[in-house]
């Protein structure tokens, strides 16, 4: 995947759009894939702004490194993120994905970075 001349947010969105239904990734995994491993917070900011895009960005599939739904406050209701994940078959208890490793999708492994 090439990201020539794309903004950081747009690079993040292109990665997030590739996360398969029923899988999740972390802010840090996206940052590492983009070659900016210390910018996971910026990935979070991109997710917070994703609702302003003119296309659908499945931001509910991006969680923190422990599987916590730390971005849930950016959705329409306090339970919207959890509801979207549950609809994809992902179990969530107390704002945390149960069996996080089973659902984790690592773009550095799954996407061709050559």
Q: What is the structure's pLDDT at 6?
A: 82
Average pLDDT for residues 34-59, to the nearest whole number? 95
pLDDT surpassing 70 at residue 94: yes
Assess if residue 58 is contained within a domain: yes
Domain-located, residue 2: no
Q: How many domains does the chain have?
A: 1
Residue 4: pLDDT band (50, 70, 90) is: low
Q: Give the integer Cα–Cα distance in Å for 22 and 5.
A: 31
Beta carbons of 7 and 21 less than 8 angstroms apart: no
* Domain ranges, residue 54: 8-110
pLDDT at 45 over 90: yes
- The residues near 39 (Cβ < 8 Å, ≥ 6 apart) are 8, 31
Given a cut of 90, is residue 57 above it in pLDDT?
yes
Q: What confidence score (pLDDT) does residue 93 get?
A: 97
Concatenate the DSSP letters of all residues of the chain into one string.
---TT--HHHHHHHHHTTSPTT-BEEHHHHHHHTT-TT-HHHHHHHHHHGGGSSS---GGGEE-TTSB-TTGGGSSSTTHHHHHHHHTT--EETTEETTHHHHB--HHHHS---
Q: Find the farthest-apart pair of alpha carbons in the chain and give their distance in angstroms, rounded.
A: 40
Residue 102 belongs to domain with CATH number: 1.10.10.10
pLDDT (mean) for 42-61? 96
Report yes or no on 1 lying in a domain: no
pTM of model > 0.75? yes
Q: What is the mean pLDDT of residues 91-113?
A: 94
What gap in Å lies between CA 15 and CA 52, rounded to an integer?
17
pLDDT of residue 112: 74
77 assigned to some structural domain: yes
């Amino acid at each position: 995947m090439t990201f020539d001349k794309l903004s950081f947010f747009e690079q993040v969105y292109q990665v997030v759009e590739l996360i398969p239904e029923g899988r999740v990734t972390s802010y840090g995994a996206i940052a590492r894939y983009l070659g900016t491993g210390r910018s996971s917070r910026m990935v979070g900011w991109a997710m917070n702004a994703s609702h302003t895009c003119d296309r659908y960005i499945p931001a509910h599939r991006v969680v923190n490194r422990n599987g916590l739904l730390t971005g849930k406050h950016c959705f329409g209701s306090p339970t919207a993120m959890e509801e979207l994940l549950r609809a994809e078959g992902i179990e969530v208890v107390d704002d945390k994905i149960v069996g996080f490793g089973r659902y984790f999708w690592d773009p550095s492994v799954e996407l061709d970075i050559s």
